[in-house]
């Protein structure tokens, strides 16, 4: 497959390799080295690293600055951008800022509602939604124009991604929703954390039935549980998360000190099984505040070493 951007992630996918991405949350302060340390640790085990954009609406060091830090250390960043906090002027402006540092990947999201974070009394913007942000980046890149119609002097060259949650309700529109994102111009997808493998496989089958797996690169999202408590929390408290009882029971069934190990095991087994699912083109390993575990997950899943592509 031919590539449209200088993105290394795109090249790896286009070459037919299973891609591996991960993500790092920026610090709640101005210590830039927090992000570079995390990246240093995992960089040889992944092809690109997402930097979250004020995830769960908790104010943090901005994604753009953190991505620039990764770029400067030679790591391929994926700029996460939510439409919650910026209008179309700010979004386009940040996209150009990112392009000026040769950031080549963007993940277009709407973002969690601010009620979940540290500023529930703040305004939200939502001038665009995630699908319209996909359209915006594609328009800026492919037409070389701002939304307002003026020409961009050196348009951004970004590989455009989005999230997909196969588990949120209503299930029947989860594949049509993927189709909408593809129609808007999305090129890669990182899914919500997968614990219910049957449901994910059904979603993938429905996507394949429409040929969608050939129109977009789908990276399956996985997150290891650190403890049975975390599994229960994700099951009961995190909106749009589907954690089957047997997974929770498996975590609770081992002694507390063995639970982290069990969590990694479940994660690796999931990857092994998902590798066989037609249409899965890679993995997005989200080890939340547990980034050091990305190494063993990638290694044990047979995804190491990473392909060398320039």
CA atoms within 13 A on the CB side of 180: 12
Structure tokens at 42: 């995992």
* Distance of alpha carbon 29 from alpha carbon 136, whole angstroms: 30
Judged by CB under 8 A, does residue 183 bind other proteins? yes
Q: How far is CA 306 from the centre of its chain?
A: 18
Which part of the chain contacts other proteins (CB under 8 A), choosing from 24-32, 73-81, 129-137, 253-261?
129-137
Q: Give the sign of the dihedral formed by CA 121, CA 62, CA 281, CA 243.
A: negative
**Range 240-245 contact pairs with CB under 8 angstroms and sequence separation of 24 or more:** 240/165, 240/167, 240/168, 240/192, 241/167, 241/192, 241/193, 241/195, 242/167, 242/195, 242/196, 242/199, 243/195, 243/196, 244/195, 244/196
Q: Which is nearer to other proteins, 85 or 291 (CB)?
A: 85
Which part of the chain contacts other proteins (CB under 8 A), choosing from 8-16, 128-136, 217-225, 301-309?
128-136
Q: How far is CA 255 from the centre of its chain?
A: 32
Structural element, H or E, at residue 14: helix 8-14
Residues 63-122 that bind other proteins (CB under 8 A): 84, 88, 110-113, 115-116
Express the helix, strand and coil content of the chain in percent, nearest 5 each: 45, 15, 40
The C-alpha angle with vertex 14 and arms to 192 and 199, in degrees rounded to 5, equals 25
Contact 22, 294 (CB under 8 A): yes
Judged by CB under 8 A, does residue 160 bind other proteins? no
Q: Which is nearer to other proteins, 121 or 154 (CB)?
A: 121
Taking alpha carbons only, the member of 157, 204, 188 closest to residue 9 is 188
Q: Which is nearer to other proteins, 101 or 139 (CB)?
A: 139
Which one of 65, 97, 119, 126 is in contact with other proteins (CB under 8 A)?
126
Judged by CB under 8 A, does residue 299 bind other proteins? no
Residue 89 CB, nearest approach to other proteins (Å)? 12
Judged by CB under 8 A, does residue 55 bind other proteins? no
Structure tokens at 167: 């588990």
Does the N-terminal peptide bond of residue 305 adopt cis geometry, omega within 30 degrees of 0? Answer: yes
* Distance of alpha carbon 23 from alpha carbon 291, whole angstroms: 8
Per-residue x/- mask for other proteins, residues 256 to 295, rule CB under 8 A? Answer: ----------------------------------------
Q: Which is nearer to other proteins, 159 or 167 (CB)?
A: 167
Per-residue x/- mask for other proteins, residues 223 to 242, rule CB under 8 A? Answer: ----------------xx--
Residue 176 CB, nearest approach to other proteins (Å)? 5
Q: Which is nearer to other proteins, 63 or 191 (CB)?
A: 191
Which part of the chain contacts other proteins (CB under 8 A), choosing from 167-175, 216-224, 270-278, 293-301?
167-175
Q: Which is nearer to other proteins, 176 or 229 (CB)?
A: 176
Residue 221 CB, nearest approach to other proteins (Å)? 11
Which one of 168, 197, 202, 206 is in contact with other proteins (CB under 8 A)?
168
Q: Hey, which residues does 217 pair with through a beta bridge? A: 188
List of residues contacting other proteins (CB under 8 A): 84, 88, 110-113, 115-116, 124, 126-132, 135-136, 147, 163, 165, 168-170, 172-173, 176-177, 179-180, 183-184, 192, 239-240
């Amino acid at each position: 497959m031919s590539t449209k951007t200088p993105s290394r992630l795109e090249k790896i996918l286009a070459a037919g390799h299973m891609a591996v991405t991960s993500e790092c949350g920026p610090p709640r302060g101005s210590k830039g080295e927090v992000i570079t340390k995390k990246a240093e640790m995992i960089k040889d085990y992944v092809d690109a690293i997402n930097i979250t954009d004020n995830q769960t609406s908790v104010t943090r060091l901005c994604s753009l600055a953190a991505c620039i830090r990764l770029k400067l250390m030679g790591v391929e960043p994926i700029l996460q951008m939510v439409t919650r906090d910026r209008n179309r002027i700010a979004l386009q402006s940040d996209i150009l800022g990112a392009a000026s540092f040769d950031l080549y990947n963007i993940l277009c999201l709407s973002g969690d509602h601010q009620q979940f974070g540290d500023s529930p009394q703040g305004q939200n913007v939502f001038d665009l939604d995630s699908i319209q942000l996909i359209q915006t980046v594609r328009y800026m890149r492919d037409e070389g124009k701002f939304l307002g119609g003026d020409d961009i002097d050196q348009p951004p060259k970004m590989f455009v991604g989005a999230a997909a949650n196969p588990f949120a309700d209503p299930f029947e529109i989860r594949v049509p929703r993927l189709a909408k994102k593809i129609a808007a111009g999305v090129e890669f997808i990182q899914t919500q954390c997968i614990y219910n493998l049957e449901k994910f496989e059904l979603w993938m089958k429905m996507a394949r039935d429409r040929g969608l797996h050939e129109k977009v690169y789908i990276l399956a999202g996985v997150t290891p549980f650190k403890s049975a408590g975390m599994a229960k929390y994700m099951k009961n408290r995190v909106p749009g998360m589907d954690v089957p009882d047997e997974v929770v029971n498996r975590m609770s069934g081992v002694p507390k000190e063995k639970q982290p190990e069990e969590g990694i095991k479940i994660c690796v087994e999931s990857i092994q099984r998902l590798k066989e699912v037609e249409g899965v083109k890679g993995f997005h390993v989200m080890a939340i505040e547990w980034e050091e575990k990305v190494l063993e997950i990638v290694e044990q899943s047979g995804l190491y070493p990473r392909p060398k592509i320039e």
